Each structure stands twice: as structure tokens, then as C-alpha cells.
Chain A
Amino acid sequence: MVKADHETNILLSEQKHQNQTNKIVLTSDDCLEDYCRLKSRGVIFKNRPAYLSEGLSIEFSDPYGNHFIILEQRNYNED
């Protein structure tokens, strides 16, 4: 797995292995805002934003079969 660093924002690569993921995680400061903005511009979402243990997220796919996840990370232990 290659992790995004300061210079790499999105890594594109050919699918070489079977278990290689085509999911792209985009981090967000405010998932609901991004969800509404993309929705009003015509992006079709399968579900509504959902809560995960790491925060709020929403998924969508582009016409080429790439799977995107918008994730707003939330630290639930912060005081």
C-alpha cells in the first residue's frame, strides 16, 4: 500500500493484483457540506452519510468504476 504524503495527493496505478483496492479516500473537514455540494452538482450517492468508528463518511462511484469515500475524521476521545 502506498500512503499519500505531502507531495502525492492521489495515486493512480494499474490494477496488478487481485486484492488491490480501487477505493479512494478523500478527507474532509465537513462531510455534510461536501455531500450537499456534490449532490447539488449532480453526483449520485447510493446512501446518506453514515457514521463509522473513525467519523462521518459518504461513498460514491465515478462512471469508470472508481470508488470514492469522503471521510471526516472525528476524534471522539478529545476533551
Chain B
Amino acid sequence: MKYVKELSNRNKIISESTCEALYEQQNDAYTIKFVFNGTEDCEINKRKFSIYPDTFAVVNAGTNFSSKIDSINPVNTFSVSFGENFIKDFHHTFSNSNESLLADKEVRETPAFIESLYPFSGDMRFNVMHLKSQLDKGLKDEMLINEYLYHCLLNYYKIYDKEVAQKLDKLSFIKAKTREEVLKRLTLAKEYISSNYNQNITLENIAEQACLSVNHLLRTFKEAYEISPYQFLVQLRLNRAKKLLQTTTYSLNEIVGLVGFECPSSFIRLFKHTFNITPLKYRKSRLN
């Protein structure tokens, strides 16, 4: 099942549910990509990453982008692209105070975001879920669709501020350029962990992907995110296991293997320590 909705202001939404797909193209507009179940494997600038339902990806206009879906169960992808004027106007209103708006500056910059994975939660999730369910029901009202898209950008800017701007402030380097470069590399580290969370990955692997030494990675990662890369990995595994307990009928042992834990007993211990409930009790509580 697939539908494409193109609006008169060039905003575009594509929803697709498929087991097999292969796309390769130059991404001509700012795009936010979501996956509602399953995984989409992507590649930008020779960098591979995977979009899971708890993350979304942002791709700038002009980037070479390819993606692949190969799954037994259908994967539902949802991508939102913004027309150039829509995003320029939004960016202009958002980044300028009211005073400079009144000064009527003609410069309309195009934004450049860090192309990576961001957490898909909170208001962004609520708004995108509303938009999707409305479109699934056949919504045609462009004003309402654009309102959802406006809020989607608003939510994204807030997430960007939290995930990028606020993290930059936490890094202790004096030069702004250094902080930016280090955060970019830490973003690569996080992206790598998120995409390979169920593999047996080592600190050396992560450091290599991020082009940082192991010591440097450990120190700066903790500075920015307040947890170690290993703690980040364990949290990710636990959260994704929680989702699998909730949405699938896989056995506990299968889930332990799927999210990359080696033994069930340490998984159960960590799960209980983190969520104050055992995995099976949690599953039971979600069934009721």
C-alpha cells in the first residue's frame, strides 16, 4: 500500500507499507523520515544507518540518499518533505526576533541541519501520528495538513535545540568550531550505536566510526549526554526490548537475542533495575 500526497505549496508526504523496496535518489527537499514498524536501512554520503520506530532521520535538500527495506513483515515508512518556501519562511520566523521581522530583512536563508537520527517522542510523535491517521482516512484539507506540517517543524526545531544546541553548550572546549566538530562526531557515534544496537559492538568500533580515540570518545560522550556510550547502548536495548514485549508475541529468550543481550538472566536483572518491573510482568500488565 502506498500513497503520495503533494500539496500546492510543494509540501509532500509519502506513506508506504512494503516488505521489499530499494530507493536511490538525490533528495530534492528537506525531508523527515519515520518508520512505524520494522526498520529502514539508509545510506547518506557512504554512511549507513537504520531508522527504527523510536527514531526519525532528517535529510537536507541536495543530499544523495538511498534506502532499503527487506523484511518478512511489512514495514510502514512515512516521509515528509517540505517545499523550499515553506521551510524558508518557517526558518525565518523561527530564528528571528519580532523586532528584526519588522525590519523586513529580505535575506531568507536555507537551514542546514545535522543529518542524523533524532529521538521520535513527545509532541512530534503525537502530531505525526495524528497526521498519519488523518491521511490514512483520506484527509484532503490542505490547510489542516499544512498545520500539522508546521507543528512537525516546530517540534523538530525544539528537538534540534535539545539534541544539538544544548549539547554544544555542555562540551568544555573553548572554540565553538571544535565543539561543533566534536558534537558531529558524537552524533556519528550515537547513530552507529542506534543502528547496530543488537550486534556485538565494542568501544573501539564506536570510536572508529566517530573518528575519535577511545579516551576522547568516553570523555566527550559523557560530557554531552551525561551517560557513557555503554550505558546509552544498554538503555537502547532495554527500551527496544520493552517495545517488543508490548507489540509482539516473541518469547523472552527470542527478545533477549533480538536486542543483542547475551544471557536472559542479566537482561531480566537490568530490566527490573531500570523499570522496576520484571519483563514478563510488564508484558502481562500491557495485555490488560
Contacts from A to B (Cβ < 8 Å): 30, 32-33, 35-37, 39-40, 49, 51, 56, 72, 74, 76, 79
Contact = CB atoms under 8 A, between A and B. Distances in A.
Nearest to A39: B143
Interface string B116-154: 000000110011001000100000010110011001000
A32 B151 contact: yes
B123 A30 contact: no
B123 A36 contact: no
Given A32-B144, A72-B126, A79-B243, 15 more contacts: A30-B130, A30-B134, A32-B148, A35-B147, A36-B141, A36-B143, A36-B144, A36-B147, A40-B143, A56-B123, A74-B126, A76-B122, A79-B239, A79-B242, A79-B246
Contact of B147 (A32, A51, A76, A79): A32
Nearest to B143: A36
Contacts of B123: 51, 56, 74
Interface in B236-250: 239, 242-243, 246
Contacts of A36: 141, 143-144, 147
Interface string B247-282: 000000000000000000000000000000000000
Contacts of A49: 151
Contacts of A35: 147
Interface residues of B, number: 16
A18 B86 CA distance: 46
Nearest to B150: A48
B126 A33 contact: no
Contacts of A74: 123, 126
A74 B127 CA distance: 11
B126 A56 contact: yes
- Which residue, of B130, B134, B246, has the highest number of chain A Cβ atoms within 10 A? B130
A32 B148 CA distance: 7
B54 to A, nearest CB: 10
Interface in B27-73: none
A26 to B, nearest CB: 17
A33 B134 contact: yes
B242 A32 contact: no
B15 to A, nearest CB: 18
Contacts of B243: 79
Contacts of B130: 30, 32-33
A33 B243 CA distance: 29
A46 to B, nearest CB: 16
A79 to B, nearest CB: 6
